[in-house]
Amino acid sequence: MRLQSHTARRTLSTPSTTRTTSTTRTTRTTSSAPAPRPARHAVLALSLAALLAGTLAACGADDTPATGAAATTSSAQPSAGATGDPALTTQLLDAAIEGDTARVKDLLANGAVADDAVAQTIVFGEKDDPTLVEALLASGFDKDYATDVTPGHSILMWAAEAGHPKMATVLLDAGADIDKLDDYGDPAVSVAAFHGRLEVVKLLVARGAVLDLRGYGERTAVGHARSQGHDAVAKYLVGQGAPE
């Protein structure tokens, strides 16, 4: 376990009740009551819109500039789908949605390029299959990739939220930044704590995660666990020397 003063690690200014991103204005209440974090579904919707727009453009079906969600996502995320074959990326997304592990691996090994939507579908799948993340990374996907859509979670944070310690282990072994911060100043251990993912929390602690970083609402990982009623997670973290 490592402790580090949050003043040296903060990437955000002193919290206020309103935070502004490049694409949206989000009002956040910093009271002690549990507060919802942005769901990943909105991110997936934007990514899927961008994928569809890219596919239509590649087929010559849309010669007009992209607007709305598709334009925002395609410009904000220079993800792999932008340089790959859109048809293969679409096949890859279909296989990921269907949970066809063999097909996903085969497509990745044969030139299909994963974009944000594909990667999220893989990581948030029902199975904690580390070989899928290995195939994703082997295809060139960035181990520290983070979406530009708020809350700006990295792929490691996705694994933390999903409660997939095996996938998280592959990412850490590949050198993923364990203390990378999201748009609210929270690292992966705080994301895992917020969602009550004890096994992922234990993994991140064992791998040296900093435990005194304060993010959304000035909460540490302990504070996030308590805010959602995850007492077992909070107790474990305190036992590891994490501050409230």
**3-class secondary structure, 164:** coil
- Alpha-carbon distances, residue 227 vs 50, 72, 120, 195, 222 (angstroms): 34, 32, 26, 10, 9
Residue 20: Cβ-neighbour burial (10 angstroms; 0-12, 13-18, 19+): exposed
Give, for all 244 residues of the chain, the pLDDT tens digit. Answer: 555 533 333 333 333 333 333 333 233 333 345 454 444 444 454 444 444 444 444 434 343 333 333 333 333 333 443 467 999 999 999 999 999 999 999 999 999 999 999 999 999 999 999 999 999 999 999 999 999 999 999 999 999 999 999 999 999 999 999 999 999 999 999 999 999 999 999 999 999 999 999 999 999 999 999 999 999 999 999 999 999 9
Which domains, and CATH codes, for the chain?
40-239 (1.25.40.20)
